Structure 1
Amino acid sequence: MNQTNHLSVEELRDIVQDAHLNFLLGAGASADLFAPLGAVEDWLTYLTQIGDIPATTLNRVRASVYAYFFEGVIDPNTSVINETVVADPILETYRGFLRTLNTLLVRRRSSILDKQVNIFTTNVDLATEVAAEELQLELNDGFSGRYLPIFSASNFGTVKSRRSLQYDNLAEVPTFNLFKLHGSTSWAARKIDLGEETKEVITFNPSTEVFDAIRGTLQTAKDALYEVDKKTKIDKLTRDADEPTPSEEAVLGAFMAEYERLAIVNPTKDKFGLTVLNQNYYDLLRIFSNTLEKENSVLFVIGFSCRDEHIRELIIRAARTNPTLQIIVFAYHPDEVQALKDRLNADLAANGNILVLSTPKKAKKADQETYTLSSITKTFFEPLLPKAPRKPDSVVDVRLKLTEPLELDDDQH
């Protein structure tokens, strides 16, 4: 595959029809509602590396960053769960994405490949789940059980079929496997009694109860927190910070205690260490790695900056060891193409199987088009859908008249 900024409809059609389909969605894919927050990961990593300020002061700064992260990434899920008008743009984006892929799976010409799509995501929002529920698509998110749904990586990989009631025909149902590499706001850690031992499991909790509790403690701690935005210089903020009073320390601690109830991997450089400690997160990364090693696979990367070094290394290693793997990365903006290539070592890929795509560069900033999940769906995947039958240019009216057949006399035989 040539490393150019072009991919024809015919090339993409062959890939989609004949390869195992995998997607990696990053924060940019959900930017319709969850705006990228800048260098949160770098900030939190910096705070783990300095030790020349009092712990209480450090905790104050850390709580301020988590408050910023909660308000920008976690709390907006309330709108998604309740399907309010605010969430309409992001839900419509995911509905279009899932609907298009589902149609492509139904019309897939290969009888060898499963009608499945693997969606790996670092996002913790619920847009994919809610959109799939609205469309009544088959979504496997790793949970099983009705009364108490429990997460297990062993629940993935199931092929589902449907048997017709009338003719007893068996047909595979298109399935979306959703792997949330960093956890989800709908996950909750819970201890269950197994008789002789107690085991901690991940259960499904789609309510806003945890959000409401965090929001309440955050409101109480507002005066003890520092203002944080994209332009914040974390080193300056840390130098200028002062120790909280005992009452401030108490409300900050209450906020962090509620926040830590979330079963997510927080954006820090040491998150891989946390992932290894939790078997569920580790299993998801292992599945991601093994999936990329599968012969004749494709990975579409959308809205992912490739700054996450642990996921990035898995992609680079797979590109080197699996020559049949194709990696197609969509750059949000043309200016990001080279940075993405550098992070993935795309120009040095021995198998030449990493392609970075972007929109054409425009002279005026206002005219510049970008690749969002919505525009990628419309530009690349919708053209692959079967076209509606074309209306005839003209209609010919043919009229037939039936008459009684002629009967011959005996003398005429």
Structure 2
Amino acid sequence: MTLDILRNFIQSSNINFLYGSGISRPYLSTLGNIEKWLTKVAEDDGKETYKDVIKASLYKAYCDGVILKNHYFYHDKDFLETKSAYTDFFSVCNELMNKRNAQLLNKQINLFTTNIDLLAEETLEKSGIELNDGFRGTLKPAYNESNFQISLSKSSMQFHKQAEVPMFNLIKVHGAVNWKEQDGTIRSDTMLMYYVQQALDKIDKDYFVNLYKTNGTEKTYDEVKTEADDIALHLPDNAYDKFFDAYNQIVMINPTKDKFRTSVLDYHFYELMRIYSNALERENSLLFVMGFSFADEHIAQITKRAADTNPTLQVVVFAYSDKDLDTYKQNLGIEHGCSNNNILILTPSSFKESNQDKYKELCELVENFNLKTINLLFKEISKNIHSGYGTK
């Protein structure tokens, strides 16, 4: 697909993004084998003690790599690189929404994500760009899905003319590190991470299995299980109870294969997935997918069904590398194509092949599709979107 075709899609579509953990790198870790191993632990018929050791070790790895890095943002090289990519993304998308000539379309962009981090909120806090995270209220912000139906406009002081303001709806389908349930309502509470850290600090580090070998490679599940067995022999009673209690206070879907079997019936998660489905079923909808492999079967099924039933939907998947193409096709169930031919998996090679003649310099910068590289594409598109559609 050429950039010119992408530009035309952006010019005339209801825009949605779906992004996963790959977008928050290098600051935050990806799951690795955590999801697979948590599933194995849940299915394991062995004794509870070593299962608790493995579970606690996996939770700790998830906390260290993702959750606790949101309590205090460490302004190291990785954070600055990740935040810079987020800043560029919001800036160019805001510019696109302001420049495009689409009077009948609103200026909202839906950002669907399975990420539980606060990087988007951190990036936009002082930017002047409008972010709707679903919370409303000043002293005790409460979460409600109906808040995503809100649009903002500004009026001229002289002529009383109103103009809609671009706004990003941040829809976290798996919850977030600051979500806490209180009296049946989700509240925002960043102290949840502090309580988790406190609980972890009180547990001897020898009571956790290190998931990595000294050379940096991941251990096998059998190696983790053997070490957990040894630790379980001298583990104090209820060693992890306070850690598990603090961890479970965070309203989020755990990274396990059976997450939707237990969570989809929960009102909020069900509603968020319904919003995702409805967004894809709208006429002339456009979905960009970034840093997300569709390994989540529930989201993959909803996306595939919407593509099959809505011929006006266009899905554009940015594959990180060429070798990911088959994985995307398999996870989406489109090895033999899709009925409306409206799911495009854009690899670095296929992008270069389509755009080499007109955008040679840009193609030379595309090695992988991370957020930084994707931003370059949107910046180039933004140069050629003006109020006069199709003009330069």
1:258-280 residue CA offsets vs partner (Å, 9 max, x unmatched): 11121111101121133223211
| Same amino acid, percent of matched pairs | 35
Structure 2 match to 1:112: 104
**SS class of match (1:258):** helix
Does the 8 Å contact 2:100/2:385 carry over to 1?
no
Aligned match for 2:369, one of 353, 368, 371: 371
Post-superposition offset of 1:333: 1.2
Aligned match for 1:340, one of 317, 323, 328: 328
**SS class of match (2:348):** coil
Post-superposition offset of 1:219: 2.8
1:68–1:23: structure 2 CA closer, same or farther, 3 Å change rule? same
Q: Counterparts of 2:10 and 2:180 in 1: how far apart (Å)? A: 35
TM-score by length of 2: 0.88
Q: Counterparts of 1:10 and 1:101 in 2: how far apart (Å)? A: 16
1:45–1:326: structure 2 CA closer, same or farther, 3 Å change rule? same
Q: Does 1:382 align with 2:370?
A: no
Does the 8 Å contact 1:224/1:248 carry over to 2?
no
Q: Counterparts of 2:337 and 2:237 in 1: how far apart (Å)? A: 51
RMSD of aligned Cα (Å)? 2.2
Question: Match of 1:13, as an amino acid?
Answer: R
After the TM superposition, which residues 53-202 of structure 1 pair with which residues of structure 2 at under 5 Å, given as runs?
53-80=46-73, 87-191=79-183, 200-202=184-186
For these two proteins, the number of residue pairs brought into alignment is 366
1:248-302 residue CA offsets vs partner (Å, 9 max, x unmatched): 3423222211111211111011211332232111100111011111111111000
1:368–1:248: structure 2 CA closer, same or farther, 3 Å change rule? farther
Q: Counterparts of 1:261 and 1:254 in 2: how far apart (Å)? A: 11
**SS class of match (1:319):** helix
TM-score by length of 1: 0.84
Aligned match for 1:355, one of 302, 323, 344: 344
Structure 1 match to 2:361: none
**SS class of match (2:125):** helix
Q: Counterparts of 1:141 and 1:210 in 2: how far apart (Å)? A: 18
Aligned match for 1:213, one of 190, 195, 219: 195
Q: Counterparts of 2:137 and 2:75 in 1: how far apart (Å)? A: 25
Q: Counterparts of 2:237 and 2:300 in 1: how far apart (Å)? A: 38
Does the 8 Å contact 1:56/1:249 carry over to 2?
no
- Structure 2 residues not aligned, in runs of 5+: 353-364, 387-392
Q: Does 1:274 align with 2:262?
A: yes
Aligned match for 1:307, one of 295, 298, 301: 295
Q: Counterparts of 2:322 and 2:76 in 1: how far apart (Å)? A: 33
Q: Counterparts of 1:117 and 1:182 in 2: how far apart (Å)? A: 19
Q: Counterparts of 1:54 and 1:169 in 2: how far apart (Å)? A: 69
Which is greater in Rg?
1
